[in-house]
Structures are given as structure tokens and as C-alpha cells.
Chains A and B, each alone.
Chain A
């Protein structure tokens, strides 16, 4: 039996991680397997990936994928700042970050906001189940009004919609998906990996232990029945010539990504224009009013500079600078002292 290799001739096993310790059936494990597939199919060298996370069920998952990549399981809500420091220090790496709704929408909302403002070059996946799993099921800040977890009163507080927030902040790639929609999620994560800038993917990922009852808007059953997909997606990597890809029968639209890959948006009956932030917000609010979830690529804007670009960092990643490049010379110091002594 021959082992299937990717474009850089690595088997998928090179992208796998350790065994998961999450509850059986957890949506997060499905997302981990999609991340493995996406990275393998995109042919990214594992050593060029940095896995980042905060604290919570979701933030444990970097142990379960990409075992040959360095990673940092940081502090609760503080993954974006650690990623920022690492990003400017090694700007050529691919940063894949995983966070949760507690980690991002509550304790870490400030860092989420400011990472987006800086257009930090990273894939920011939120595994969003509406509850704090690791502390046994308290509601999080993303839970919808009227949504009720098992044996509990429905939530009455207004939810924070992380996609709407990201769009308002000028995030350059904003998508929502569902851990049960493997094809859609894979295309979106692959596209996010090909994007340059902050790519936020808010993934509804049901908590099978504390909130998978039908009265909870983020349960498997509820999401399956109430998912409004914006488009069907086909990701065409930069190493596959576009002309070799079969042309779909219906209407479609191609989006060119930073690394030369293409995201093909098919059966665009929603008519959603991904370059229109107002339309994207309108999709989100309409879905909320209808107690449904809109999934797909909501907003895409490849224009703005990333943090490392506007900092005008040296071509050599800062982590690789030599002592001579990092430290001014003795002559520099002498000149400086002469200036002081003038």
C-alpha cells in the first residue's frame, strides 16, 4: 500500500497530534481533524506553523493536531498578545490559533479586538459552543437570548456576535462555520491559511456534555436545522492550475487569495457579496432575528497592511538576526557619546 503524500511529500501522519482528552463526540475534535486535513492538503511545512491557544476546552486542542509544529498554550484570554509578540519575531511563520467563546468573548475580548485592529497575520479559530465546558457548563457571552442549556433557565442577556464585531473592526477575513459541516469548514480554514491578515473563523462547535439539547441554539440538532449557508465553497490551491479545475454548472465567483490560491463561491443564491461589510452585518442580524445561524465567508478584504508590514520589519525574521545585526557598533556608541558631550 502506498502512503498518500501531499505537495511537499509528507504523509498526513506528519500533521497529526496526540490523543484527545475531550469528551467523546466533542465538536472541537472534529475541528482538530479539519485543521490537520487543511494544513496537510495546503502543503504547509509543519515546522513553519505555530499553534497558539488560550485556556479552555478548545485551547487544549493544539495538543491534538500538528504534533511536529511548535505551539503555545498560553493564558486565559491572552492568546492574541502572545501571538503578536511571536508574529513580529518570526513573521514568516503561519500562525494557527484556537480559542473558545469564553476565552475570546469574555476574558479575552480586549485582545481579540486589538489583534484585529493590528491585522495580525494569523488564522483565529473560535470554537464557539455557548458554554464554559471546563468549569462545567456555565453560559458564555455568545449564547443567544432564549437559548437554554439542559435543565436550566433560558439565557436573557444579549449575546456578543464575534463575527459582527470583527467586521465592524475591519477584520480582513471573517467567516462563520459549524463543526458538523466538514466540507465547508475545510474550505474556509484552507482559505484562511492562504490569507494574509487576521482571518477570524467563528465555528459553532456543540458541547455534547453540557449543552446539546434541542432548546440550545448551538446543539447539533438545532444548528443542522437552522443553518443558512451563504455559498458552497471549493478551495483551489495555488499549486493546482485553475484551468484544470472543472467549471461548476451554476453561477460562481472566484476569490484570489494572497498565496495564489482561489476560493470558489458556488450556488450564490444568497447573493451575498463578501466585499460588502454592510451586507455581511445584515446577514448576521437577519439570522439572529430568525433564531438561525448564517454560515460561510461573510467578509473578505485583502487590502490592508498587516502588522509586520506597517512596522517595516527587516527581511530577516527578528529571531534570526545575528549579534551584529541586533547590536549597534562600538563606533555608533562612540558617536553617540560624542554627541552627548558636545
Chain B
């Protein structure tokens, strides 16, 4: 086996495009110098559009830009692709991985294994290498000067820092990232024009950055063409791209949904992974919420903490605005007292929880569905809150605006529940539908409207739906001192036992009434109706693969995607219709399972079982399908 000359950097005169060399080789390829350890002729079948990259870098080196260029390039080629950023709670230095999965079947979860590993980071080098299955590909930066001592993998050495240094010595560390993009492009077959478009998109108008990155990519391609002979089976082939689709992060979709929902006040306290919801709203206000005279129709306040952020939401909702904040679990803990106030005093507001791993500070940059029970009953005493679970970026937008309608209709706090995976990764999107007409709820604006109600009281239920009419500060119409203490139907302080009971029963009935009005579950039912899976939120992006894996064992599995709490009666019907129910979720204790156990009729409870697991990584199908199969066996289904 010959070793390549790392000092040879002169551009190849004819940069032969190596992509998919396997195509012409009749399923065989001769491994010569670069594929260490694999000697002679190896039979190989081409693998097209169905493999996973894992790119290991150090945080803060600019690798995220490189990774997004890779992701967008593949998307532009019309490939079903998903990207997962596994980043640390750190600005610079700690390990980061980016997983790009291309899947002809459209699977969006991280794959069960890595096919092509990029090694850039000294700190995780050995561990990443050891984790690879035999036959995997490693593209590594030789300038890190660490060994690749495995003879059962295909290794492609590229002197990335050295190539980068030849272009710009000072920025070499950063440019080295775009070198692996160029190397990958050359090896798997990403068209140069597509790559250049993605670079231009990434560096929006910064011409010098665009040019430098294109030059870097070309140097990388030339190096690979000249020095590496492709000996792996992994290739990309362009497909027809749906011109309606684009890539967008869930948080940006949530932000846009909120803007189109007419948010008039956003208060927020920075916290990963929710900050980008607020930052996207701030970025879109000049374009979408500013008058011709430069005045804005949405106030944005960076609060001193989450308590204040929640207080501002309650104050603005009380005054007649559409108010929201965005946060994550630790923020919800702090906001809980205000959430209870909103519930009891009946003040509308919206809180988006972009869930991260708890408890406590937990794994702050990793994903989880761990706040479900917290949100449903946040606050002391008896409470119950409306929680919306978008499963796609389209629903992040839709529930973004709907949340305000529900909040004002039910005069209560409404939660949007997203997570780091859905919120901070890019997803394929078909577009957003324009919202329906606003529901501003029961608000009396004139004396005539007030007079039309016999014996008006702020908390008197005249329609029998538990929802009372409110008047707004500034109107002068039947003012009360809104309070978190007990009060009677006129809003006057009261500790009377019967009055308290009546208030609490009405509040319960009010929220009960939302069960059929909130986004209803999405069902995919099999005729056999043996096993049904209940799941929610971003698990939507893994469920198809889980289903395929289960069906490959001969199981017929129906699915019910819950989209809101309190649960729709449709969920109970689904349970009724299936012999065995699995509640699938990304946490330890089965929080949605707990809610179902509490709310289902007692005779249905024995058929419901929990499969819950969370390790911080976006859900991988195999982990959950194995757990489901195990559980089914355990319960004899």
C-alpha cells in the first residue's frame, strides 16, 4: 500500500470528477493506495442516495456553515435529506457532530449507523473511529496528525488544514471545514453548480466569503481527484426537486406563525434552544410588522428573567394584546406562578416551550419531550392547560398563529410544545397556509354590548360554555380589580366555599370544552387493529421508519399522532379500537402515558403500555422499534 504524498498540493490539470466511479466498475472496484487495509479486489454494490454522514468537528470553528452548505446542496439535488446538529453547551472548543442523512425512503431520523465519517476533531477522534462499523468510510484531516488504525474501513486522508492554509493562512482553521465539503462533494458526486448556489445562500451577499469558499471547494475537489481513488460504494444521484419545497428550521416557522398570528408583544429571556424563535421574530418585524412611518405593531422586550417575561405576557394579555414568550424547561419552572395566575384570573397568553433535556440544567443543547406533564398542569393547585404539539415545520407555523386564537377564545395560557430537534434543525417544508380569520374571544367593546348581557359579571357564565365576557382596561366598561385570589362572579374578593367550588368547576368545564376544538389527532389505521402507537411532536419524523421496521417483522401497526392536550375523544376511540396500545415518547417516565392512564376509562388502561426513552439524541428508529417489539413480547401481544 502506498502512502500519498501530503506535500503535493499542485492543482490537478484535469480534475477528473471521481464521483460514482463505482458506477462503471461493474460492482467491483480496485482499491489501491488510499483505502488502507482493504487490499486487492473487493466486490461492491453501489449504494445510491441512502446513507448517513457524521461530521465530527470542534464547536466554534465555523463547521456549522460548512455543514449547512452540504445539507442545502443535497436538498438542491432533489434528495430527501435531513441534518441534525449535535452541539455542546459551549461557544468554542467542545465537540460537535453533524449528522446528514440521505434517504430515498424519506426517513428523517438520524440513521442507525454512520456510513461516512468525517474526522476533524482531535478530542473525539479515537472514539468516533472506534464506533464505526466495518466497511465504513472515513474522510480525515491528516493535519490533525492522529492515526487511523483500523484495517476494516475505507480511509481517505486529506490534508485539510494544509490546503486551507495555502488559501488563507489566518483563516485556515475555519476554511478546513469547507475543504471536507469539497472532498465529500467530489467523492459522492455533488454537482459544483449546486454547491456554489448553496455557498452563495449561506453567505448571503458576502462576495469575498463566497469567492473564498468556492475556491476552497475547488482546491479540495482537485486534491481528491488527483490523490484519492474512490473505493467506497456511496453515491448521490440527483432527483427531480419539488420546486415548492424549501428547508426551514422549526423555530423560524414558529416565529413566522406567531407574526402572522398577530403577536403584539414578545417578551423573552435568552435560553437554548428557544432563543431563535425570538430572534427570528425580531428579524422579521421590519419586513412584516412595521408601518410606513417606521412604527412597529409588535413590542419586543428582552426581560430580566423568565418570571418577568411571563409577567409581561400576562400584563399584555390582560390589556388586550396578543402576547407571547418563548423558553425552555428551566424557564417554564420559573414561569409557573404566572401560568397559574393566567389560568385562575383568565388572562390570555402564549408560551412556546422548545424542550431540551432536563431535569435542572440537564443537557441544555440536546432534545427531549420531557416537559409534557409540567406544561399540562403547571402552577400550584388544580390547573389544566392547553398544549399544542406541532410535529412538522408546517404545523409550527400553523400552531404559531392558532395558539393566539385559542388563548383569547379560552382566556387562558396556551402552550406551544416544540423541541430542540424540531426547532433548531432544518426540515423540508411544502409552504405555509395563510391563517383563518382571527378569533379574539369574548370581549365587550361598547356599552351596548355590555347592556345586552343580563346581570353582567366578569366571571358570570351566561353562555354555559364556561367562558365569560371580559372588558379591557381603557374601556371604562364594568372595571374590576383582576386578581389571583378567590373572587365571585362579579370579580369581587371572596373566600366563600361554594363560590370557590363553582369557579373551579367552571374553569374545568371551560378547558374540557377545548378537547374537540383543538387540533385533532392524525390517524393512520391498519385494518387489523392489533397494535396502535400513540405519539406526538417531533417523533412524527421518525415514526415512518419505526413503522416500516415493525412491519418488516410482520406486525401491523396503526398510529395516532396526538396534536393537543387536553386529549381529543378521538384518542379514546383509537385506544378502544386496538387490542394493544403503545405510547411512544422521548423521555424517561412516559409522561403522555401518565396522562392517558389518568384520563382514560379504567377498563381501557390495561391495554395501554409505555415505551419511553431519551438520551438527548434525536430519536433513532431502531432504538424505539426494538423497545416496542420487546414491550409487545412482554405483554404477550
Contact = CB atoms under 8 A, between A and B. Distances in A.
B261 A85 contact: no
Question: What does DSSP make chain A's interface, helix, strand, loop or mixed?
Answer: helix
Interface in A82-114: 82-90, 92-93, 110-111, 113-114
A26 B95 CA distance: 63
B437 interface: yes
B315 interface: yes
A231 interface: no
Given A85-B316, A85-B323, A333-B260, A114 B308 contact: yes
A75 B215 CA distance: 60
A300 to B, nearest CB: 25
B478 to A, nearest CB: 9
B481 A63 contact: yes
Interface stretch (A241-249, A286-294, A308-316): A308-316
Residue of A18, A51, A72, A74 with most partner-chain B CB within 10 A: A72
A106 to B, nearest CB: 14
B554 interface: no
Contacts of A48: 474
A319 to B, nearest CB: 4
B246 A340 contact: yes
A82 B321 CA distance: 13
Interface in A103-160: 110-111, 113-114, 118
B434 interface: yes
Contact of B315 (A62, A67, A84): A84
B473 interface: yes
A118 to B, nearest CB: 8
B227 to A, nearest CB: 36
Given A81-B303, A311-B299, A341 B338 contact: no
Contact of A326 (B262, B482, B483): B262
B20 interface: no
Interface residues of A, number: 61
Contacts of B594: none
A47 B265 contact: no
Interface stretch (B122-130, B290-298, B382-390, B619-627): B290-298
A318 B297 contact: yes
Nearest to A71: B481
B311 A75 contact: yes
Interface in A295-342: 307-308, 311-315, 317-321, 323, 325-328, 330, 332-333, 336-337, 340-341
A93 to B, nearest CB: 6
B299 A88 contact: yes
A89 B264 contact: yes
B476 A46 contact: yes
A84 B308 contact: yes
A183 interface: no
27 contacts: A45-B476, A50-B319, A50-B473, A70-B479, A71-B482, A74-B341, A75-B484, A78-B311, A82-B314, A82-B315, A84-B312, A85-B311, A85-B315, A85-B317, A85-B323, A87-B319, A89-B264, A89-B323, A114-B303, A315-B295, A318-B297, A319-B320, A326-B262, A326-B264, A327-B260, A340-B246, A340-B429
